[in-house]
């Protein structure tokens, strides 16, 4: 077998192995997250991390109605009185067949905030297709 084909075979085998490992990792469930927000018709579940100068919210948005097609989420920085100090532009999440979808939102805080919250900015229902 020529060396070129051996190299291609090894690369394909490595890709299949890596993809298999990635798919075998368990998908997080809503109960795996410490923060939860009920925002009918969805529930939002997330955790926060602080890499570098950013706050990052990662989680799942779970639809409570099968006709919800997409949602727009925002990460907010709030002061002690609950007023918004800073916020992100809305992040779009689209459902692709299951009832929850992952999301990740990154915010550079302005400072003065005491807590962070993910909120539902808006949502859209599926379009009705009529004959």
Domain of 58: which CATH number? 2.60.40.3230
92 inside domain: yes
Pick from 48, 62, 53, 66: nearest CA to 117: 48
107 inside domain: yes
Q: Which two tokens stand for residue 67?
A: 């006709």
Q: Are 75 and 116 in contact (CB under 8 A)?
A: yes
80 inside domain: yes
Q: Quick one: pLDDT at residue 23?
A: 57
Instruction: Provide the 8-state DSSP code for 81.
Output: T
Structural domains counted in the chain = 1
6 inside domain: no
Which residues sit opposite 2 in a β-bridge? none
Look at residue 87 and tell me whether its pLDDT is greater than 60.
Answer: yes
Domain of 95?
27-125
pLDDT, tens digit, for every residue of 94-111? 998 889 999 999 999 988
Alpha-carbon gap, residue 83 to 38, rounded angstroms = 19
Alpha-carbon gap, residue 24 to 20, rounded angstroms = 6
pLDDT, tens digit, for every residue of 24-70? 567 788 899 999 999 999 999 999 999 888 999 999 999 999 999 99
12 inside domain: no
67 inside domain: yes
8 inside domain: no
Alpha-carbon gap, residue 19 to 15, rounded angstroms = 6
Report, as an integer, the average pLDDT of 79-93. Answer: 95
109 inside domain: yes
């Amino acid at each position: 077998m020529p060396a070129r084909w051996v190299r291609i075979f090894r690369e394909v085998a490595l890709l299949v192995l890596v993809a298999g490992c990635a798919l075998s990792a368990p998908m997080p469930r809503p109960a795996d997250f410490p923060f939860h927000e009920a925002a009918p018709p969805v529930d939002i579940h997330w955790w926060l991390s602080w890499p570098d100068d950013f706050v990052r919210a990662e989680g799942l948005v779970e639809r409570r109605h099968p006709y919800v097609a997409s949602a727009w989420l925002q990460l907010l920085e709030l002061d002690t009185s609950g007023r918004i100090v800073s916020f992100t532009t809305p992040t779009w999440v689209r459902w692709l067949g299951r009832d929850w979808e992952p999301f990740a939102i990154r915010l550079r805080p302005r400072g003065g905030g005491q807590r962070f919250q993910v909120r539902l900015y808006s949502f859209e229902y599926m379009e009705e297709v009529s004959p």
